[in-house]
Chain A
Amino acid sequence: MVDSLIHPHEAKPEIWVYLEHEGGNLQTVSLEILGKGRQLADEMGWPLCGLLLGEHVVHLAAQVFEHGADRAWVVEHPLLGSFTIDAYAAATFQTVMKGKPSVLLFGATPDGRDLAARLAVRLRTGLNADCTDLRIKRESGVLVSEVSGFGGGVLALIEMPDHRPQMATVRPGVFPVPGSMPGSQGETISVRVDLSPQMIKTRIIERHTSSTIDLTRVPVLVAGGRGVGPDFTDLEQLAHLLGGDVGATRPPVDAGYIERERQVGQTGVGCSPELAICCGISGAFHFVVGIEKAETVIAINSDPEAPIFDYADYCVVGDIHKVLPDLVQALQAARELTHD
């Protein structure tokens, strides 16, 4: 067996959450994991700690405490001003070797996944990827992670009894955002890390983050498939009326009819809306896993045999180019009626 750098008996009974932040706010996925982490920490009687990296981030510690953490480990360095895997992996590694947590959690985001995967090898420990549930065994302190494979068709429970920290990345949107408790206090631990410009191999040439599309938490999802064609206007109108947003299956995205950020399903995002309205979608498994968590599903398709009807609560056999405009019109009329 290969030993982890941190031995199980020297690991501290603590849960650490790596926190992503942007524009002075903690990211939603980080709050979600703090919420779940708080629950696990209470069950075990362990402290919950947030790990904050950046150039000037100490002021974010208040948000960390307000969302349930007992401690904030704060790592500030000029080379942590923007995310490079080189600087962030080195700084996280040094901090983890100081604090030796038993459990270390990340959001399964592009940066979180990169960092966790590289760090797990550096620490010679395991990493459970894109987890959909977590629990800790009371007697042994062993983390049990639920992950899905084969496009979501199979669930597996994974443990690493003999390695620390027990690392996992958590899929965004699976845990609720905890309520904030303004004024909550905690302990801030400032960590000095050793970073030098020579360590940074990555050169950031440019960075564009204009889009704010995030379908993981929309209350209403209006999703379109091949049957929609190039024009998503009807879907956008409907989504707008219902306070929701538009998603799509892969074909319209590949055809360039709609942004890739709007792709729902196995290679896109998973959504958990109150209501999903699937328009002109055949119902391939790769898409259906993305609306698995929807409270209610409506499907509209002209093909009465479309598989999507097996995954819907309410099924309409009809042409979406007729049904959607009628529906939009009727909703507008109903709204005017209530407003008058």
Chain B
Amino acid sequence: MTEPRIVVCVKVVPKPEEVRVDPQTRLLERANARAEINPPDMNALEMALTLKDRLSGTVEILSMGPPYFEPVLRVGLGMGADHIHLLSDRAFGGADTLATTYTLAHGIERLRSVDIVLCGEESSDGATGQVPQGLAEWLNWPQLTLVTELEIDMERHVARGQRSIKGGYEILEVPLPCVVSVKTASNEPRFMDFRLKAQAASPGRMKVWDAAALKTDVNHTGLAGSPTRVSGLASAASRERKRERLTGTSEEIIKALIEVIRNSVM
């Protein structure tokens, strides 16, 4: 039986709690924010590594971004991934989901003979949650989204997954190759394996692809290939709360609470 070739799409994002909007310039200040692998992508990586534990095969990380993402992505090698592909070119900058999925799809086509692509449900920064489906559309592959469990049958060449839907779940089967999005928090990502750490840091095991290598069309990548434009930014106005402390004996506190409840809902 052949072993699966698995690709995991990983986005490097700034830690959300360290990003602010400058109140004067209204621009996003992310320069001081530390970078991390998008937490939902860690669930996708964990699911891929679990499949590899079971079926052998390979797990490759596919990412798009500047070269300095390298050390962040190498964490994935430490967890057990085999290789990193970084799609990196100035022409890819400023991409919305249409341009991003176009570029990632070209990466996957250039890798050839990939059996399954796993993605996180959404990113913690943009949170559009539409990359997996868009990628599947460019590739003209079937999709399995929001899965909490996944099996691959290499003999029948199908993937079967449990998809979360409103008020329940469904079990779907699609032919390989396919694109899968993994439901956030559906597993506990493993820690870096110290035995793999030295290997992970060593050069090699990472390939950078630019626009020429990917043979992408400049009209389809980056800002040029993106229909959407951000026309304004603001910090979400958080609601001012009263922050009133209810004090006194426990009877007095209960009385005060009931008063608040009465005024709010009764």
Contacts and interface: CB of A to CB of B under 8 A. Distances in A.
Given A110-B145, A152-B236, A208 B168 contact: yes
B136 interface: yes
Nearest to B164: A110
Contacts of A316: 245-246, 253, 257
B260 A314 contact: yes
Contact of B258 (A111, A243, A330): A330
Contact of A202 (B28, B125, B142, B168): B142
Interface stretch (A47-55, A68-76, A229-237, A320-328): A320-328
Contacts of A162: 227
Given A121-B138, A161-B229, A151 B16 contact: yes
Contacts of A118: 133-134, 136-137, 143
Contacts of A315: 243-246
A202 B172 contact: yes
Interface in B219-262: 219-220, 224-236, 238-239, 241-246, 250, 253-258, 260-261
Interface residues of A, number: 89
A114 interface: yes
Given A110-B163, A250-B185, A315-B243, A2 B98 contact: yes
Interface stretch (A33-41, A183-191, A289-297): A289-297
A209 B254 contact: no
B41 interface: no
Contact of A151 (B124, B134, B172, B258): B124
Contact of A113 (B129, B184, B185, B226): B129
A297 B238 CA distance: 13
Given A126-B98, A158-B230, A295-B264, A209 B143 contact: no
B258 A327 contact: yes
A53 B46 CA distance: 37
Interface string A107-135: 00111011011101110111111100000
Given A116-B130, A150-B125, A205 B242 contact: no
A206 B171 contact: yes
A163 B98 CA distance: 12
B97 A117 contact: yes
Nearest to B30: A150
A201 B140 CA distance: 11
B31 interface: no
B167 A213 contact: yes
A203 interface: yes
A1 B94 CA distance: 13
A209 B264 contact: no
B97 A154 contact: no
B236 A310 contact: no
B195 interface: no
B165 interface: yes
B130 A208 contact: no
Contact of A153 (B132, B225, B236): B236
Given A155-B233, A159-B231, A130 B129 contact: yes
A56 B125 CA distance: 40
A331 B228 contact: no
A313 interface: yes
B205 interface: no
Interface in B112-145: 124-134, 136-138, 142-143, 145
Interface in A8-36: none
What 7 A-B pairs come out closest when comparing CB atoms?
A126-B227, A117-B130, A117-B133, A129-B128, A209-B168, A157-B232, A201-B142
10 contacts: A2-B99, A85-B142, A117-B131, A124-B98, A163-B227, A210-B168, A275-B260, A296-B260, A312-B242, A316-B246
Interface of A: 1-2, 4, 85-86, 89, 109-111, 113-114, 116-118, 120-122, 124-130, 144, 147-163, 201-214, 219-220, 242-243, 250, 254, 261, 267, 274-275, 285, 292, 295-298, 309-318, 322-323, 326-327, 330-331, 334
